[in-house]
Amino acid sequence: MSIDTDTAARVAKLARIKVEPEALPALAQEFNTILGFIEQLNEVDVEGVEPMTSVEPMRLKRREDVVTEGGQQDKILANAPDAREGFFAVPKVVE
């Protein structure tokens, strides 16, 4: 499996990271190095082996579906790059 610059561009897009076109060949090369390393996993016989979901056998706890620590609008917005009138502000999303 070899990654070309088109695939690298597609992955960057999916990850929402802007990559300049001139940086794509080097990025594709790095992906190939890392994926080449990962390919070793194909040597392992995993027939009938369950994919691990939890490293210790435990059932995740559930809590009551109720508000626990609500009413903290000021704190929630305190670190926002742009907050106005009690909302997070972003560029126009819907035309």
Partner 1 sequence: MTDLNTLKIAEARDALRKGEVTSVELTEACLKAIEGAKALNAFVHDTPEIAMEQARAADARNAPDAPSLNGIPLGIKDLFCTKGVPSQAASFILNGFKPEYESTVTQNLFDAGAVMLGKLNMDEFAMGSSNETSTYGNAVNPWRRGNDDTALTPGGSSGGSASAVAADLCLGATGTDTGGSIRQPAAFVGITGIKPTYGRCSRWGIIAFASSLDQAGPMAKDVRDTAIMLNAMCSHDPKDSTSADIPVPDFEAALTGDIRGKTIGIPREYRMDGMPEEIDALWTRGKEMLRDAGAKIVDISLPHTKYALPAYYVIAPAEASSNLARYDGVRYGHRARLAQGDGITEMYEKTRAEGFGKEVQRRVMVGTYVLSAGFYDAYYNRARRVRTLIKKDFEDAFAQGVDAILTPATPSAAFGLGEMAEADPVQMYLNDVFTVTVNLAGLPGIAVPTGIDRQGLPLGLQLIGRPYEEGDLLNTAYALETAAGFVAKPAKWW
**Among residues 2, 17, 65, 86, the one that binds partner 1 under rule CB under 8 A:** 17
The answer to whether 30 contacts partner 1 (rule: CB under 8 A) is: yes
**Cα–Cα dist 27/68, whole Å:** 44
**What's the one-letter identity of residue 31?**
F
Q: Are 28 and 19 in contact (CB under 8 A)?
A: no
The tokens describing 60, both together, are 């995740």
**Cα–Cα dist 54/60, whole Å:** 9
Q: Rule CB under 8 A: which of 53-72 touch partner 1?
A: 53-56, 58, 60-61, 63, 72
The answer to whether 46 contacts partner 1 (rule: CB under 8 A) is: yes
Residues that bind partner 1 (CB under 8 A): 3, 8, 11-12, 14-19, 27, 30-31, 33-35, 37-44, 46, 49-56, 58, 60-61, 63, 72, 75-76, 78-82, 88, 90-93
